[in-house]
Amino acid sequence: MTQPNKIRLKDAISIGIGGMVGGGIFAVLGLAVSLAQGGTPLAFLFSGIVALITSYSYVKLSMTYADRGGTVKFINQGFGKSVFSGAVNNLLWVSYIIMLSLYASAFGSYAPNLLKLTHNGTIDFHIYASAIIVLATAINYYSIAIVGKIESYAVIIKLIILIAFVGIGAYGLIGNPNLEQLSLVHWEAPMKLFAGGMVIFIAYEGFELIANAAPDIINPEKNIPRAYYGSVIFVIILYLLIAIVTIGSLPFKNIANAQDYVLAEAAKPMLGKLGFGIITIAALISTFSAINASLYGGSRVNFEIAEDDELPHHFMAQLWNQPIGLLITAIATFILVNLLELESISTAGSVGFLLIFSIVNFVGFKLSKDIGANKTIPLLGFILCLIALVILLNQQIKTNIIGVVIALSIVGACFVMEWLYKNREKKHK
């Protein structure tokens, strides 16, 4: 008999899959193809391998230091409550905001298509992207229980639709001349392929949400590893198949023209307007549920950081029975999605999570004896994340220097603000 409030294996896997297949694939698939061309499946594989290796550190840390604070607690465990750990934890919160902006951006790109309005109008995009943030914030304030119900139904709906897209799309590839676009001659250079995978790394970051649920998982010794590895491997395979079907269904020119809503466009050759509409609905449900869940998650991260004295205790205040961080997270998301382009948002988010995951891997390496980990795997994860970060920044400097400046400014601001806060606290004490 399942204990109340306990999380079964299938629920834990759903948390990981739901976190990854939120709005990320709908938002970044077109961007991935623009960067990697026919090698897009390999780009997704690269970033998936980095995520899978990193999940090993998360498994070991979650089993030893099970805590609802998740990543925040792991970083504090490795570095104590210092300026460094505080800055990295603040970067995690900011990365949630960036991720929310990515989801809202995807919603704003898909929504006009459903309502048969011009999808080229920037006014339409901003209206829908802004409105969904306001709606999700209102739902979070009204009832957290509703947020959970929306997410649980959305995970099932979007997976059914995406798996059906892959199945029908694979059948439609037979004899399709666009299948030739997957050949080696259409691949970008290896470095650009790897960089393309890292720009879209944000589509994989959601597995870390399992860490927050770790204290409630039944039979943790068996189920925590299965939840992490099972969800990451499933999503790698799903993304690879989606990328193959998309590139095999549409000419590169069509993909470029529909970059912000390419998954819906890829359903047209198979099912016409019906397919376009179904995928558009799936994108709206996915991004809406992801915004709902991430707003709650972001506000909890903000609260945990303040509770650990790495942000002012004002952030622990309540507004309408919710942490004040919920409103701050929503306002910051609203501003970001209306200021930045999709590629800059994706770059900033990927930089943030690659840096955070490199540090979690380092914690796994540093505490390997305490957590019973093989030292080599966390060390490999640490090195891979740093290499990926350098390659990503190097590639983006050439094509999207604004995105790089924004990403590095965010990282720098987190460290400066934490240093100022800690110094002020020392003077007060």
Does residue 67 sit in helix, strand or coil?
A: coil
**Mean pLDDT calculated for residue range 120-136:** 78
Strand (E) or helix (H) holding 319: strand 318-319
- pLDDT of amino acid 409: 92
- pLDDT of amino acid 316: 67
**Which of the four pLDDT bands, split at 50, 70 and 90, describes residue 110?**
confident
- pLDDT of amino acid 115: 67
Indicate whether 272 pLDDT > 90. no
318 φ/ψ angles, rounded to the nearest 5 degrees: -105, 140
Nearest to 301 by CA among 422, 224, 408, 212: 212
For 206-219, how does the pLDDT look when each residue is reduced to its tens digit (9 = 90+)? 888 888 888 888 89
**Which of the four pLDDT bands, split at 50, 70 and 90, describes residue 118?**
very low
- 221 CA to centre of own chain: 26
The amino acid that residue 324 corresponds to is I
Strand (E) or helix (H) holding 318: strand 318-319
Strand (E) or helix (H) holding 323: strand 322-323
Task: CATH number for 9-428: choose from 1.20.1630.10, 3.30.70.1520, 3.20.20.70, 1.20.1740.10.
Answer: 1.20.1740.10
**Which of the four pLDDT bands, split at 50, 70 and 90, describes residue 62?**
very high
**Mean pLDDT calculated for residue range 89-100:** 88
For 142-165, how does the pLDDT look when each residue is reduced to its tens digit (9 = 90+)? 766 676 677 777 778 888 888 888
Q: Which residue has the higher pLDDT, 335 or 198?
A: 335
3-state helix, strand, coil in the chain (%, to 5): 85, 0, 15
Q: Map out the domains of the chain as residue ranges.
A: 9-428
7 φ/ψ angles, rounded to the nearest 5 degrees: -105, 120
- pLDDT of amino acid 191: 78
State how far the Cα of 207 lies from the Cα of 54, in Å rounded to an integer. Answer: 10
Residue 395 burial class via C-beta count within 10 angstroms: exposed 0-12, middle 13-18, buried 19 and up = buried
Six-digit token pair at 19?
């976190």
**Which of the four pLDDT bands, split at 50, 70 and 90, describes residue 1?**
very low
Cα atoms found within 13 Å of the Cα of residue 88, Cβ hemisphere only: 24
Tell me the pTM.
0.85
Nearest to 356 by CA among 70, 45, 18, 27: 70
Indicate whether 5 pLDDT > 70. no
Find out whether 326 and 306 touch, Cβ atoms under 8 Å.
Answer: no
CA distances from 320 to 8, 137, 138, 325, 415 (A): 32, 12, 11, 12, 31
**Which of the four pLDDT bands, split at 50, 70 and 90, describes residue 64?**
very high
**Which of the four pLDDT bands, split at 50, 70 and 90, describes residue 121?**
very low
Indicate whether 97 pLDDT > 80. yes
Does residue 37 sit in helix, strand or coil?
A: strand
Nearest to 106 by CA among 339, 288, 329: 288
**Mean pLDDT calculated for residue range 300-305:** 80
- pLDDT of amino acid 55: 95
Does residue 7 sit in helix, strand or coil?
A: strand
Distant-in-sequence, close-in-space partners of 180: CB < 8 Å, separation ≥ 6: 186
Angle (nearest 5°) at CA 63 between 61 and 68: 80
Find out whether 114 and 106 touch, Cβ atoms under 8 Å.
Answer: no
Interhelix angle 40-64/376-399, rounded to 10 degrees, is: 140
- pLDDT of amino acid 67: 84
Find out whether 206 and 18 touch, Cβ atoms under 8 Å.
Answer: yes
Interhelix angle 190-199/342-366, rounded to 10 degrees, is: 90
Angle (nearest 5°) at CA 10 between 7 and 16: 85
State how far the Cα of 59 lies from the Cα of 66, in Å rounded to an integer. Answer: 10
Residue 407 burial class via C-beta count within 10 angstroms: exposed 0-12, middle 13-18, buried 19 and up = buried
Residue 226 burial class via C-beta count within 10 angstroms: exposed 0-12, middle 13-18, buried 19 and up = middle
- The rounded percent of the chain whose pLDDT value lies above 90 is 20
State how far the Cα of 143 lies from the Cα of 297, in Å rounded to an integer. Answer: 14
**Which of the four pLDDT bands, split at 50, 70 and 90, describes residue 337?**
confident
Q: Average model confidence (pLDDT) for the chain?
A: 83
- The rounded percent of the chain whose pLDDT value lies above 70 is 93
For 340-363, how does the pLDDT look when each residue is reduced to its tens digit (9 = 90+)? 777 788 788 888 889 999 999 999
Give the count of beta carbons closer than 10 Å to the beta carbon of residue 91: 24
For 192-239, how does the pLDDT look when each residue is reduced to its tens digit (9 = 90+)? 788 778 877 878 888 888 888 888 888 989 999 999 999 999 999 999
Q: First vs last Cα of the chain: how many Å apart?
A: 51
Indicate whether 423 pLDDT > 50. yes
